[in-house]
């Protein structure tokens, strides 16, 4: 049973639009929440690893927030560009580092 | 640049064949993982290894085995490939299995079993 959920499953936006998607996870036994970006034909790469409730991390136009009490994280992309097209994966880390991944959100940015 | 390399990007095999997927990392990481990715299901852990010759089953080990004879290399073996093993396979590694460390991934092997 997959208890890390990502929504939406896929998303089409126009270049320049800002967008966000959600990862929900168990709030018990929480240690960290990971976000990875997986571009076609490339390796998934870590965007953020977040541990603290209320934490917000930023990398260029991409930012993420974390709510460990209610078990969700948001990933925001400001002014989407075609190169942002990728699958975004979140993973719940319970400190054994046996990550449980969500199903991913596939983002397509149209020029 | 640190690297996790998977030997094949695409692989087509026939039902019943024995299939080897190879993964090599150059970061001296202790821990290596094999996942499979199917649409809508997320990455599911097949096997992992925390040291040479050590292995542990993940969530979906049935139909697979692994080999870790050297620290840098972790092989996934499909003893008798079946069509339901058609999938994207990802290898990953991490130095220490403590919380909060990010995984390093290979670029994946898309396996089709006909």
B40 vs A45, A51, A103: nearest CB: A103
Task: Say which DSSP state B85 is in.
Answer: G
Tell me, yes or no, if B14 comes closer than 8 A to chain A by beta carbon: no
* Record: contact B4-A103, CB cut-off 8 A: no
* Record: contact A103-B94, CB cut-off 8 A: no
Chain segment B45-99, per-residue pLDDT in tens: 999 999 998 999 999 999 999 999 999 999 999 999 999 999 999 999 998 777 7
B99 vs A32, A89, A103: nearest CB: A32
Chain B residues in contact with A34 (beta carbon < 8 A): 102-103
Chain segment A52-66, per-residue pLDDT in tens: 999 999 999 999 999
A42 vs B94, B98, B107: nearest CB: B107
Task: Please enumerate, as own/partner, the contacts of A37-41 that have beta carbons within 8 Å and a separation of 24 or more.
Answer: A37/A86, A37/A87, A37/A88, A37/A89, A38/A86, A38/A87, A38/A88, A38/A89, A38/A104, A39/A85, A39/A86, A40/A86, A41/B9, A41/B107
Dist. CA A75–CA B3, nearest whole Å: 26
Tell me, yes or no, if B113 comes closer than 8 A to chain A by beta carbon: no
Chain segment B16-56, per-residue pLDDT in tens: 999 999 999 999 999 999 999 998 788 999 999 999 989 99
Q: Which residue has the higher pLDDT, A1 or B98?
A: B98
Please give the interface size between A and B, counted as residue pairs whose CB atoms are below 8 Å apart.
Answer: 66
For residue A3, is pLDDT > 90? no
Chain segment A80-106, per-residue pLDDT in tens: 999 999 999 999 988 765 789 999 999
Chain segment A14-57, per-residue pLDDT in tens: 999 999 999 999 988 889 999 999 999 899 999 999 999 999 99
Chain B residues in contact with A49 (beta carbon < 8 A): 100-102
Sequence-separated (6 or more) residues with CB below 8 Å from residue A52? A66, A68
């Amino acid at each position: 049973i997959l208890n890390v959920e990502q929504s939406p499953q896929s998303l089409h936006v126009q270049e320049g639009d800002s967008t966000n998607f959600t990862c929900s996870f168990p709030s018990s036994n929480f240690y960290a929440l990971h976000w990875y970006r997986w571009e076609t034909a490339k390796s998934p790469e870590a965007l953020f690893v977040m541990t603290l409730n209320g934490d917000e991390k930023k990398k260029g136009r991409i930012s993420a927030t974390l709510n460990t009490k209610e078990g969700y994280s948001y990933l925001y992309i400001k002014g989407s560009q075609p190169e942002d097209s990728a699958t975004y994966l979140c993973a719940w880390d319970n400190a054994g580092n046996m990550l449980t991944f969500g199903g991913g959100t596939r983002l397509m940015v149209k020029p | 640049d640190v690297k996790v390399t998977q030997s094949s990007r695409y692989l087509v095999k026939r039902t019943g064949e024995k299939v080897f997927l190879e993964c090599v990392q150059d970061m001296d990481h202790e821990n290596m993982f094999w996942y499979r990715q199917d649409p809508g299901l997320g990455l599911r852990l097949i096997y992992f290894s925390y040291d040479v010759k050590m292995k542990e089953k993940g969530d979906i080990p049935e139909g697979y085995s692994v080999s870790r004879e050297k620290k840098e290399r972790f092989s996934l073996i499909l003893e008798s490939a079946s069509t339901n093993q058609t999938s994207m396979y990802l290898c990953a590694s991490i130095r220490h299995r403590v919380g909060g460390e990010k995984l390093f991934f290979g670029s994946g092997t898309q396996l089709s079993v006909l």
